[in-house]
């Protein structure tokens, strides 16, 4: 089996008496979509923060491409190949769509210390940004102010910014949140193809999307992974049904 | 609504026009007044790089203004008194050359901005304001107690410093120097805002977490902006001291830091020409109303109140809509 692109090893994080992550070990292999599901409060966001560098675990390690990145900050992990999208869009609202995508391209280039040439005049950055915007379907909105975008368009822009990074793995925090059924279906098809470029760790509430996309699913309850397996395995697991799926009927 | 570019040119042309008119009409005091507006504008343009682009509400920019002023005062004082300036083992004669003084002012204020930035940029919001304020007060009280250079009374420099090929004692020529520097800095500021660095800084102000996620450090971006900002305000301080031929601890006072913020807000935060408009309005009010009443600040306060409540983009924001996506 191919070496995993990303793995966590016994991640544990406590907030006072609450154990938000309780020895979480999971991995994401090349070419796969690994979904993490769980009820609200299961610790999904805490897990993502520890993987992306926003939170330090109390115990446990995070490995990216075989390198221990536990001690690296968010920016260094991004440079090492993590491409993250946010549950609540984190975009520069005053700027244009193109400028937001160019920021990603600029980060990817690693050359922000240029004080004179026009950013939008940089052909390489611009080509990369426009290409990624076209892929998510925002080619007609390059110069729109981001604040004027619809919710769905902002979700698309989130994905486009992650694309500009050419990451080795995508970490997606509820990319379907707030999308209508049309939007979800479109994004599902998009992610389905995207896994060939880089594997995806997908935290998602939309079960249709998860069951359509995931190669493997991990179920997180009270900070613990209670099961990991294929969609069929997870669906037929009595424990998972009891802990999670059953509640949603 | 007019295009911002034309508004920028109109404001600069207006400043130049007033000075030229005063030169023809032989009104040296008006030239000096205009020069004062230009220098305060330059200081506020410096602050606007930190405040407007970086979102850093610095209540300590008087540190850089004062350092610029004292760079001029100390260098010229040693020439004036024929005493060498001894820094450790090095002994220099001082200087009365403006370019040397400017470079010293820029070097000192960027160094101070680097140190202050390294410490204060670890915080944000009200804490950042308080830390920058605290640094300002430190410098202020140090200057008051520094008797070697006049302490509370400050330093008078009898002859304005020189610039190769010009007679800086002629008000119009000194105005020309200050005006040219303002234009140069505005040009640099404009390029900066549209540059790759400006793009990243602009995003770091709005969503620092996004900037980290693309692999850049918001801290470093803001630190560099703070240093550039401090350097510009330091240069303005050296010119201000030369205008008055006098330096005193009031250049370090927190009131001055506050006034610089007021200039930027009046004109328009983050707008290129905003600080210039703010400075012109400030000096005009100070002159016109200051002659009528000592309490002219009341009117300034009222105007500021109206702007903050009803025109968040400042005067420039009222006159010209921001164009988007032309970076």
Domain of A197, CATH number, reads 3.40.50.300
Which of A95, A108, A165 is nearest residue B203 as measured by Cβ atoms?
Answer: A95
Residue of chain B with shortest Cα separation from A89: B210
Q: Which among B192, B210, B325 has CB closest to A115?
A: B192
Of A131, A165, A199, the residue at which a domain comes to its end is: A165
* Complete domains list, chain B, with CATH: 4-319 (1.10.3470)
Which of chain B's residues have a Cβ under 8 Å away from the Cβ of A161? 210, 214
Of A138, A165, A192, which residue sits at a domain end? A165
Is residue A249 domain-shared with residue A177, that is, in the same domain? yes
Binary contact (A90, B209; C-beta < 8 A): yes
Task: Let me know whether A1 and A71 are in one domain.
Answer: yes
A21 is a domain residue: yes
Domain termination residue (choose one: A119, A140, A165): A165
Question: What's the average model confidence in pLDDT over B252-280?
Answer: 96
Q: Examine the pLDDT at A59 and tell me if it is beyond 90.
A: yes
- Same domain for A160 and A174, yes or no, is no
Domain that holds residue A198: 1-81+167-249
pLDDT digits (tens, 9 = 90+) for A188-228: 999 999 999 999 999 998 888 999 999 999 999 999 999 99
| Number of domains within chain A | 2
How confident is residue A83, by pLDDT bands cut at 50, 70 and 90? very high
Together in a domain, A184 and A248: yes
Q: Which band of pLDDT confidence, cut at 50, 70 and 90, is reported for residue A22?
A: very high
Tens of pLDDT, residues B194-229: 999 999 999 999 999 999 999 999 999 999 999 999
Where does the pLDDT of residue B326 fall: very low under 50, low under 70, confident under 90, or very high at 90 and above? very low
Is A68 within a domain? Answer: yes
Task: Tell me what ipTM this predicted complex has.
Answer: 0.92
- Judge if A68 and A176 occupy the same domain: yes
Contacts of A52 in chain B (CB under 8 A): 213
Q: What are phi and psi of B45, to 5 degrees?
A: -60, -40
Cβ-count burial of B20 within 10 angstroms (0-12 exposed, 13-18 middle, 19+ buried)? middle
- Assigned token pair, B72: 């001029």
**Inside any domain, residue A174:** yes
Q: Are residues A70 and A104 in the same domain?
A: no
Neighbouring residues of B31: CB distance < 8 A, sequence distance ≥ 6: B19, B22, B23, B171, B172, B175
Encoded tokens for B24? 């023809």
Indicate whether A242 and A176 sit together in one domain.
yes
Structure tokens at B22: 């005063």
Distance CA A246, CA A242 (A): 5
pLDDT band at A245 (very low <50, low <70, confident <90, very high): low
* Closest among A71, A58, A56, A50 to A8, alpha carbons compared: A50
Provide the shortest C-alpha distance from residue A185 to chain B (in Å).
26
Q: Confirm whether A191 is domain-assigned.
A: yes
Is A87 within a domain? no
| HEC secondary structure over chain B | CCCHHHHHHHHHHHHHHHHHHHHHCCCHHHHHHHHHHHHHHHHHHHHHHHHHHCCCCCCCCHHHHHHHHHHHHHHHHHHHCCCCEEECCEEECCCCEHHHHHHHHHHHHHHHHHHHHHHHCCCCHHHHHHHHHHHHHHHHHHHHHCHHHCHHHCEECCCCCEECCECCCCHHHHHHHHHHHHHHHHHHHHHHHHCHHHHHHHHHHHCHHHHHHCCCCHHHHHHHHHHHHHHHHHHHHHHHHHHHCEECHHHHCHHHHHHHHHHHHHHCCCCCCHHHHHHHHHHHHHHHCCCCCCCCHHHHHHHHHHHHHHCCCHHHHHHCCCCCCCC
- Same domain? A62 vs A177: yes
């Amino acid at each position: 089996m191919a070496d995993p692109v990303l793995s966590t090893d016994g991640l544990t994080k406590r907030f006072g008496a609450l154990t938000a992550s309780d020895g979480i070990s999971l991995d994401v292999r090349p070419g796969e979509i690994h979904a993490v599901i769980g009820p609200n409060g299961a610790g999904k966001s805490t897990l993502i923060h520890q993987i992306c560098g926003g939170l330090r675990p109390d115990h446990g390690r995070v490995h990216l491409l075989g390198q221990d990145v536990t001690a690296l900050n968010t920016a260094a992990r991004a440079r090492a190949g993590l491409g993250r999208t946010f549950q609540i869009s984190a975009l520069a609202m005053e700027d244009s769509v193109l400028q937001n995508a160019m920021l990603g391209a600029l980060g990817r280039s690693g050359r922000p210390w240029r004080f004179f040439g026009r950013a939008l005049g940089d052909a390489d950055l611009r080509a990369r940004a426009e290409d990624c915007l076209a892929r998510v379907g925002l080619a007609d909105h390059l110069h729109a102010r981001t604040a004027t975008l619809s919710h769905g368009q902002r979700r698309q822009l989130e994905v486009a910014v992650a694309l500009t990074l050419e990451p080795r793995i995508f970490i997606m925090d509820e990319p379907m949140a707030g999308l209508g059924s049309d939007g979800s279906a479109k994004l599902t098809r998009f992610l389905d193809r995207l896994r060939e470029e880089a594997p995806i760790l997908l935290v998602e509430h939309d079960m249709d999307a998860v069951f359509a996309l995931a190669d493997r699913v991990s179920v997180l309850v009270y900070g613990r992974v209670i099961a990991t397996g294929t969609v069929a395995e997870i669906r037929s697991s009595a424990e998972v049904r009891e802990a999670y799926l059953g509640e949603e009927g | 609504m007019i295009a911002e570019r034309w508004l920028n040119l109109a404001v600069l042309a207006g400043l130049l026009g007033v000075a030229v008119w005063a030169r023809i009409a032989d009104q040296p005091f008006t030239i000096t007044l205009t020069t004062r507006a230009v220098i305060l504008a330059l200081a506020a343009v410096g602050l606007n790089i930190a405040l407007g682009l970086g979102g850093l509400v610095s209540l300590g920019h008087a540190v850089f203004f004062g350092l610029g002023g004292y760079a001029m005062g100390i260098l010229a004082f040693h020439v004036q008194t024929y005493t060498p300036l001894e820094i450790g083992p090095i002994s220099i004669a001082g200087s009365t050359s403006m370019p040397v003084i400017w470079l010293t002012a820029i070097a000192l204020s960027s160094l101070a901005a680097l140190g202050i930035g390294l410490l204060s940029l670890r915080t944000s919001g009200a804490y950042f304001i308080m830390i920058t304020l605290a640094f300002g007060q430190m410098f202020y009280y140090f200057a008051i107690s520094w008797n070697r250079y006049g302490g509370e009374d400050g330093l008078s420099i009898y002859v304005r410093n020189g610039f190769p090929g010009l007679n800086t004692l002629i008000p119009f020529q000194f105005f020309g120097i200050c005006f040219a520097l303002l234009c140069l800095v505005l040009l640099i500021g404009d390029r900066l805002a549209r540059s790759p660095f400006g793009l990243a800084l602009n995003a770091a102000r709005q969503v620092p977490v996004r900037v980290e996620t693309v692999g850049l450090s918001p801290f470093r971006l803001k630190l560099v902006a703070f240093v550039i900002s401090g350097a510009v305000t330091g240069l303005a301080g050296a010119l201000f001291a030369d205008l008055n031929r006098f330096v005193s601890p009031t250049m370090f006072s927190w009131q001055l830091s506050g006034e610089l913020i007021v200039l930027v807000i009046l004109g328009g935060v983050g707008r290129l020409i905003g600080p210039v408009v703010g400075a012109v309005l400030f000096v005009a009010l100070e002159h016109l109303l200051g002659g009528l009443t000592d309490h002219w600040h009341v009117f300034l306060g009222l105007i500021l109140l109206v702007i903050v409540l009803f025109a968040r983009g400042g005067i420039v924001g009222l006159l010209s809509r921001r164009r988007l996506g032309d970076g």
